[in-house]
Chain A
Amino acid sequence: MSADSDLQKPLPYSPNLPPPDFFDPVVEAYKKDVDMTLIRENLKLTVTERFEKHQKLWEFAQALRAAGQRMREGR
């Protein structure tokens, strides 16, 4: 692809806002703790599989929450 056609590509972001890679020291502080291994694994999945993985995690969290509730109520 030529440099000219690159210039004609629409921007994937709004030119009226700070760019998506805008440097923010607070964000930078968080970045070092982002687990990129989880992200790389997600990127190997299809979008449907990513949603399905999220759904399973959500159901697991709900089951844990319910178990905690039962424990607190002494059941």
Chain B
Amino acid sequence: MGPNFHEILPLLVSHDVQFIVIGGGAAIVHGAARMTYDVDVVYARNAENLGRLVAALKPYKPYLRGVPLGLPFIWDQRTLQGGLNFTLTTTLGDLDLLADVPGGGMYEQIVPFTVELDAFGVRCLVVTLDMLIQMKRAAGRPKDMETIAELQNILENRRAPEPDF
């Protein structure tokens, strides 16, 4: 399964889940021409939000991605409480639920560096282009160097004055 922004984002919003779009999805929002294979979100860890996440995703059979089928994995609030970052496959598509991300930290720490995104008829939060670059850099993965170059070009393009014809 691949990314399914058009169903996953409205689903989370309809359940009032507190989340922020980061990663490749955020890069697409800001105009990057890159492929991504999953939906990455940072979620708030308060008990109410964990309950909303559980209720939202339960019908879509979340399971740990890359783990052999049949291993016990119970999708409930206790499981979420006991972990931090979950790379999931669901019947809607692949979804990474992240509680703490390099460079950004947790949901509450990232919220000041977000903008409101309007897509698929819903509104949700996405990290700013500036913060996305900082997070990619903090992740320190060689594969992100090319992405950072693209995002910095978008940033420079945004800051450049309009051509005077």
Contact, CB under 8 Å: A34 / B149: yes
| B66 on the A face (CB < 8 A) | no
For B117, the chain A residues whose CB sits under 8 A away are 47
For B150, the chain A residues whose CB sits under 8 A away are 30, 34, 39
For A18, the chain B residues whose CB sits under 8 A away are 134, 137
Contact, CB under 8 Å: B103 / A14: yes
Contact, CB under 8 Å: B119 / A21: no
Interface of A is mostly: helix
From 45 to 62 in chain B, residues with beta carbon under 8 angstroms from any chain A beta carbon are none
Q: How far does the alpha carbon of A54 sit from the alpha carbon of B32 in the complex, in Å?
A: 10
For B36, the chain A residues whose CB sits under 8 A away are 54
Contact, CB under 8 Å: B112 / A10: yes
Q: In this complex, which of B28, B33, B155 has the most chain A Cβ atoms within 10 angstroms of its Cβ?
A: B33
For B113, the chain A residues whose CB sits under 8 A away are 11-14
Per-position contact with B for A28-49: 1 when CB-CB < 8 Å, else 0?
1111011110111011001110
Q: How far does the alpha carbon of A24 sit from the alpha carbon of B113 in the complex, in Å?
A: 22
Contact, CB under 8 Å: B155 / A21: yes
Q: Give me 18 A-to-B residue pairs in the complex whose CB atoms sit less than 8 angstroms apart, sorted by A's number.
A: A12-B115, A13-B133, A14-B134, A18-B134, A20-B130, A21-B152, A27-B152, A34-B150, A40-B157, A42-B31, A42-B32, A48-B6, A48-B118, A50-B29, A51-B5, A52-B6, A54-B35, A58-B35
Chain B residues close to A by CB (< 8 Å): 2-6, 25, 28-29, 31-33, 35-36, 103-104, 112-113, 115, 117-120, 128-131, 133-134, 137-138, 145-146, 148-157
Chain A residues close to B by CB (< 8 Å): 10-14, 17-22, 24, 26-31, 33-36, 38-40, 42-43, 46-48, 50-52, 54-55, 57-58, 61-62
